[in-house]
Amino acid sequence: MLGDFMYSNPTRLYFGEHAMDNLKTELANYGPKVQLVYGGGSIKKNGIYDQVTKILQECGKTVFEDGGVMPNPTTEKLYEGCKIAKDNGVDLILAVGGGSVCDYSKAVSISAYCEEDPWDKYYLRMEDVDNKIIPVGCVLTMVGTGSEMNGGSVITNHEQKLKIGHVFGDNVFPKFSILNPVFTYTLPKYQMTSGCYDIMSHILEQYFSGTDDNTSDYIMEGLLKSLIHSWEIAMQDPENYEARSNIMWTATWALNTLIAMGKSTDWMVHMLGQAVGAYTDATHGMTLSAVSMAYYRHILPYGLEKFKRYAIHVWDVNPAGKSDMAIAEEGLQAMEAYMKRMGLVMNLRALGVTEDMLEGIAKATFVMDGGYKVLEKEEIMQILQESM
Amino acid sequence: MLGDFMYSNPTRLYFGEHAMDNLKTELANYGPKVQLVYGGGSIKKNGIYDQVTKILQECGKTVFEDGGVMPNPTTEKLYEGCKIAKDNGVDLILAVGGGSVCDYSKAVSISAYCEEDPWDKYYLRMEDVDNKIIPVGCVLTMVGTGSEMNGGSVITNHEQKLKIGHVFGDNVFPKFSILNPVFTYTLPKYQMTSGCYDIMSHILEQYFSGTDDNTSDYIMEGLLKSLIHSWEIAMQDPENYEARSNIMWTATWALNTLIAMGKSTDWMVHMLGQAVGAYTDATHGMTLSAVSMAYYRHILPYGLEKFKRYAIHVWDVNPAGKSDMAIAEEGLQAMEAYMKRMGLVMNLRALGVTEDMLEGIAKATFVMDGGYKVLEKEEIMQILQESM
C-alpha cells in the first residue's frame, strides 16, 4: 500500500432480487420533482420502466422524462438534459439503465447549474465542481462500468471529435444505487460477454501497475477468480442467479476506487480501445479484447514479475521447473484461450478496422504513464498491427 | 452473493505516512468544541498527542479532554464521557487510539443525548439510534478491530457481568479516520501478533459460513493471503512500512462490512474467546488463537468443501491424489504451524485458564447460528477441553 491516499465512497447500494423495494425509502429523502433518465427504451419492453414509474407515482413524485440516452452520451444531449433539470428545478435525477445512462445523469447533475459551458469546464479542463449538484440515484439494468458507485462520467463531443471521461470526487457519486441481478438475464450474449471483459479489463489495468507488494493486488486476484468462474457459468446458463449476482458485484468493486488504492494504475488498454471506438461503432468491451493480448505480450518483459504472479495466482499455472518468462507466457496463453471460449472478439479486423485506419487510431490514442512501459508512438502502431 | 443486502460505508479514510495532514481540513467541517478521547496515555509518550493538540489549537478548537479509556470501556466511563459531551455541547468527538477508544467514542456519540440509560437502550435492547448523534472522527494508533470504519461498539457492564457489542448503522460510523501505518511501529510484538490474529479471525469467521459461490469468499482469500504474507514480514522487521500498511488496510476491510455481504457469518471463535476473556485478563487476539484450532477441527466435517477450498486457495495445499478430508486437514495443519511461528498462544492453560473455569466459560459462551454447525453445550465443553 505504498503512497498516501484517500478513500471515500458514500453511495448506498441495495443489492438483490428485491432491491427495488428500497426505492420508495430512498425517494422519501428528496423533493417531489424527479428527472427520469433512461436509454433507448428496452426498459419499456422488460417492465422495469413500469415498475419504476409506479413507485414514483405512489410516492407522489412529478416526473420529468429524459429518455433516449445514447450508448455514448453527447454534449447535445447533455445540454437538453440540463435544460430539463434547470427549467423544472428537479430535486433528483433517477438513472434507469446501464453505464451510459448513469454517466449522463452525473453529467447533468453537475452541469445544470454550471454558469459556463459544462463541456469546457468539466470535461475539457477537468475542473472540480463548484456549483450546485443535483443528487443522482441509479437503478442498474446492465453491468460493467461501475458507474453506479463511482464519480466517472464519459461524454462525447462529436463536433470536436472528442470523448472525455472525467472521474469526479465523491460529491458526484450516486447517492444510492439499486442492483438487481435478475435485470441482467435478458442481455444478449454478445453484449454480456463484452461487458464481462470490460470488468476484467478494469481489474487488469489496475493490477498491471506498480511493483510493490500491495493488498489491492490480492483483492484483485480474488475478484478476477470470481469473475472468471461466474462468467463461464453465466455464458452457459444466463439465468443462473448466483453467477449473475457475482458478476454484478464484481463489476461494482472493479471500478469504485477500492482496488486502485496504493496503485499507480495503467489504463492503456482502455486508451487503445477508446481510440478504436472512435473509428468504428464497435462495442466497448470488444475494442478492449481485440487489443489486449498484443498489448500484454508487448509489456510483459517490463512487468515480468507481475505477469508471473498473475499466471500462478489467477490462472493456476504450475511454476515447477519453468523459467519466469515461460510461466508468465503460460498465464497469458490461459487467458487467451479463456477469452476465445467466452466468445470475445480477438482482433481488430473483426471489428471493421482496416489498415488505413491504424495511423489515425494510433494518433488518437492517449498515452498513460502508470503502467510498466510508457508507450512510444511506434509501439502503439506495432500493437495495433499485431491486433489486426 | 445469495440473499438481499444493503451496503453503505460513508467513512472517509485518509491513509499513509502523511495522513495527519488532512486532519485540519476535516476539522473545518465541525464547530469549535472537540472532545478529545484517548486511552492510557501512550499517545503522550510517542508524540501523537502533541501532534493532534497542536493541530486542534491551530484550528482554534476548544478541547475537552477525555482520557483514560480502558481496554474494555465500561458503562461508568461511558456515563462520564456523556456528561462531558452534553454539558459542553461538543461538536465533534475525536478518538485518538485503537479499537477501544473508537468503540467508546461511538458509544458517547449516540448516548450523550439519549433520554434513558443508554446501556439499557442501545446495548441490552440493541435499539436503533433515534436521538441526536455527535459526529466522531478517528486517528488510529493500533490495528485490528476495524472500528475506524464500522458501526461496532463494545461496552462492558461490570455490575451485570456483561460485555455487549452493538453493530450500529452507517449513521454511527466515524465521519473520517486517519490511518498512518508508522504509528503502529512501536507496538510490542505480543500485542501486534495478537492484533494480527484478531484480523485473521475476523476474516475466517465470515469465510467459514455459507455454502454458496460468493465473490466475498474470493475477496477474503485475497485479504488472508496478503495478511499472512505481510504479518510474517512485520514480525521480522517491525518498521517495514509496506508490510505494516498492508496489515492496517487489511484490518479495515476485514471488518467494515464489505466481506460480510451475502454471507451468513459465524463468529463462534469470537464468542468462545470473549467468554474466556471474561474469566481471564488475556489479550483478546490470544483468546481467539487459543480456541481456534479445536473449533475448526470440530466443525471441519460439517463444512468440508469450504475447508478443502481454504487449504488449496489460502495455504497452497496441493490436492493431487488426496481425499477431501486429507486436503482440508493439511490446510489446518499449515495454519497451525504458521500461528505457532507467529508466536500466538495456542492453548487456554497458557492464558491462565484452569479446569474448574471451563464450565463457567462454556455457560458464558453465546451460541451463534450462522456457521456450519450450531454448537450444543457439550460440544462447547469439548472444544474448550481440547483447547487446554
- In tens, the pLDDT along A309-367 reads 999 999 999 999 999 999 999 999 999 999 999 999 999 999 999 999 999 999 989 99
Report, in angstroms and rounded to the nearest whole number, the Rg of chain B calculated over CA atoms.
Answer: 21
Is the CB of A2 inside 8 Å of chain B's CB atoms? yes
Is A12 an 8 Å CB contact of chain B? Answer: yes
Whose grid coordinates read 495456542? B346
**C-alpha pair distances (Å), A149 with each of A143, A258, B310:** 12, 11, 30
CA distance B247 to chain A (A): 8
The verdict on A232 touching B (C-beta cutoff 8 Å) is no
d(CA A159, CA A151): 25
Beta carbons of A248 and B1 less than 8 Å apart: yes
Inform me whether the C-beta atom of residue A213 falls under 8 Å from chain B C-beta atoms. Answer: yes
Listed in sequence order, the residues at least 6 apart from A141 whose beta carbon sits closer than 8 Å to its beta carbon are A42, A43, A46, A48, A96, A97, A98, A183, A184
Question: A215 and B14: CB-CB below 8 Å?
Answer: no
Taking CB atoms and an 8 Å cutoff, what residues of chain B touch A5?
15-16
Yes or no, beta carbons of B6 and A18 under 8 Å apart: no
d(CA A67, CA A299): 42
Looking at residue B160, its pLDDT comes to 83
Contacts of B230 in chain A (CB under 8 A): 213, 215
Residue of B6, B22, B140, B219 for testing the chain A interface, max A β-carbons within 10 Å: B219
Range among A23-32, A67-76, B149-158, B278-287 with highest mean pLDDT value: A23-32
Q: What is the pLDDT of residue B135?
A: 98
Q: How large is the ipTM?
A: 0.95
pLDDT band at B258 (very low <50, low <70, confident <90, very high): very high
Partner-chain contact A261 B249, CB within 8 Å: yes
Cβ of residue A250 closer than 8 Å to a chain B Cβ:
yes
Confidence (pLDDT) at A282: 87
- Cα distances from A130 to residues A9, A111, A115, A133, in angstroms, run 19, 10, 10, 9
Within 8 A of B229 by CB-CB distance, chain A residues are 213
B251 contacts chain A (CB < 8 A): no
Query: For position A98, what pLDDT does the model report?
Result: 92
What residues of chain B lie within 8 A of the CB of A225, using their CB? 218, 221
**Edge-to-edge strand order for the sheet containing B176-179?**
A62-66, A33-38, A92-97, A136-140, A176-179, A5-15, B5-15, B176-179, B136-140, B92-97, B33-38, B62-66
* Cross-chain Cβ contact A3/B16 below 8 Å: yes
Q: Please give the biggest Cα pair distance in chain A.
A: 69
3-state secondary structure B64-120: EEECCCCCCCEHHHHHHHHHHHHHHCCCEEEEEECHHHHHHHHHHHHHCCCCCCHHH
CA distances from A332 to A37, A199, A201, A293, B64 (A): 40, 17, 14, 8, 59
- Contact of A23 with chain B, judged by CB distance below 8 Å, is answered with no
Cell numbers that stand for B35 in this block: 472532545
The residue among B270, B208, B203 whose CA lies nearest residue A215 is B203
Say if residues A347 and A280 touch (Cβ distance below 8 Å). Answer: no
Which cell is B332 given?
Answer: 489446518
- Measured between beta carbons, the chain A residues lying within 8 angstroms of B218 are 222-223, 225-226
Confidence check: pLDDT of B2 > 80: no
Q: What is the pLDDT of residue B162?
A: 80
Q: Name residues 111-170 of chain B within 8 A of A (Cβ).
A: 170
pLDDT tens string B118-139: 999 999 999 999 999 999 999 9
Distance of residue B225 Cα from the nearest chain A Cα, in angstroms: 7
- Kindly tell me the sign of the dihedral angle through the C-alpha atoms of A279, A281, A287, A291: negative
| Partner A contacted by B18 (CB < 8 A) | yes
Q: Provide the CA B324 distance to its chain's centre, in angstroms.
A: 32
Instruction: Please state the length of chain A.
Output: 388
Which whole-number Å values give the CA distances from A62 to A53, A151, A306, in the listed order?
10, 27, 53
A19 touches chain B (CB under 8 A): yes
> Residue A252 and residue A256: Cα distance in Å, rounded?
6
Q: CB of B319 within 8 Å of any CB in chain A?
A: no
CA distance B385 to chain A (A): 37
- Count the neighbouring beta carbons within 10 Å of the beta carbon of residue B154: 22
| Unique residue bearing C-alpha cell 486502485 | A260
Lowest mean pLDDT among A124-128, A161-165, B229-233: A161-165
CB pairs under 8 A between A and B: 136
Nearest to B234 by CA among B252, B247, B225: B247
What is the DSSP track for A97-119?
A: ESHHHHHHHHHHHHHTT-SS-HI
* Buried-state track B114-130, b at ≥16 Cβ within 10 A, e below 16: beeebbebbbeeeeebe
Instruction: Give SS3 for B12.
Output: strand
pLDDT for position A115: 97
Optimal mutation site among A2, A6, A7, interface B, most CBs of chain B within 10 A? A7
What confidence category does residue B3 fall into, taking pLDDT thresholds of 50, 70 and 90?
confident
- Of A17, A170, A250, which has the smallest distance from its Cβ to B4's Cβ? A17
- The region of weakest confidence among A278-292, A330-344, B230-244 is A278-292
pLDDT at B247: 97
- B146: region left, alpha or beta (phi > 0 left; psi from -120 to 50 alpha): left
B69 to chain A, minimum CA–CA distance in Å? 28
Query: In the structure grid, which three cell numbers stand for residue A199, read together?
Result: 470488468
A262 and B245 within 8 Å at the Cβ level: the answer is: yes
With beta carbons under 8 A apart, name residues in chain B contacting A170. Answer: 12
Please say if the pLDDT value at position A289 is more than 80: yes
User: What contacts B109, CB < 8 A, 6 or more positions away?
Assistant: B85, B93, B133, B134, B135, B136, B172
Q: Do B5 and A16 touch (CB under 8 A)?
A: yes
Give CA–CA dist B14/B249, Å, rounded: 11
Query: A249 in contact with B at a CB cutoff of 8 Å?
Result: yes
**A222:B221 CB<8 A:** yes
Contact: B15, A1; criterion CB under 8 Å: yes
Please give the Cα distance from A95 to B90 (Å, whole number). Answer: 40
Q: SS3 letters for B249-310?
A: HHHHHHCCCHHHCCCCCCCHHHHHHHHHHHHCCCCHHHHHHHHHHHHHHHHHHHHHHHHHHH
Which positions in chain A touch B14 (Cβ < 8 Å)?
4, 6
Of A16, A212, A226, the CB nearest to B3: A16
Helix H, strand E, coil C: the string for A225-237 is HHHHHHHHHHHHC
Whether residue A8 and residue B13 make contact (CB cut-off 8 A), yes or no, is yes
Q: Which of A212, A222, A261 sits opposite B242 (nearest CB)?
A: A212
Q: Residue A145: its pLDDT value, please?
A: 87
Are A12 and B1 inside 8 Å of each other by CB? Answer: no
> Would you say residue A212 has pLDDT above 90?
no
How far B152 CA lies from chain A's nearest CA (Å)? 18
Q: How confident is the prediction for chain A on average, in pLDDT?
A: 95
Shortest Cα–Cα distance, B66 to chain A (Å): 28
Which pLDDT tens digit goes with each residue over A114-145?
999 999 999 999 999 999 999 999 999 988 88
The answer to whether residues A335 and A300 touch, using CB atoms and an 8 Å cutoff, is no
User: Which residues on chain A are in Cβ contact (under 8 Å) with B13?
Assistant: 6-8
Angle between helices B268-279 and B284-299 (to 10 degrees): 130
> How high is the pLDDT of residue B186?
87
Terminal-to-terminal C-alpha distance of chain B:
38
Helix (H) or strand (E) holding A279: helix A268-279
Helix (H, G, I), strand (E, B) or coil at B376: coil
CA geometry: angle A208, A211, A215, nearest 5 deg: 80
B26-53 as b/e: b if 16+ CB within 10 A: bbeebeebbbbbbbeebbeeeebbebbb
Lowest mean per-residue pLDDT among A185-189, B308-312, B356-360: A185-189
Give the distance from CA B163 to its chain's centroid: 14
3-class DSSP state for residue B25?
Answer: helix
Reference A360, options A299, A297, A288, A279; nearest CA is: A279
Shortest Cα–Cα distance, B130 to chain A (Å): 17
Sequence letter at residue B184: T
Residue of B nearest to A173 (CA): B10
pLDDT of res. B355: 96
pLDDT in tens, A13-56: 999 999 999 999 999 999 999 999 999 888 999 899 999 999 99
Cell of A174: 450516486
pLDDT(A304) > 80: yes
And the C-alpha cell for B144? 485490528
pLDDT value of position B143: 87
Q: Is the pLDDT of residue B323 over 90?
A: yes
CA angle A7, A142, B207 (to 5 degrees): 55
Q: CA–CA separation, B363 vs A231, rounded Å?
A: 47
Q: Is the pLDDT of residue A152 over 90?
A: yes
Distance separating the N- and C-terminal Cα atoms of chain A:
38
**Residue linked to cell 481454504:** B310
Tell me whether residues A218 and B218 touch, CB distance under 8 A. Answer: no
B211 touches chain A (CB under 8 A): no
What amino acid is encoded at A331 in this protein? Answer: G
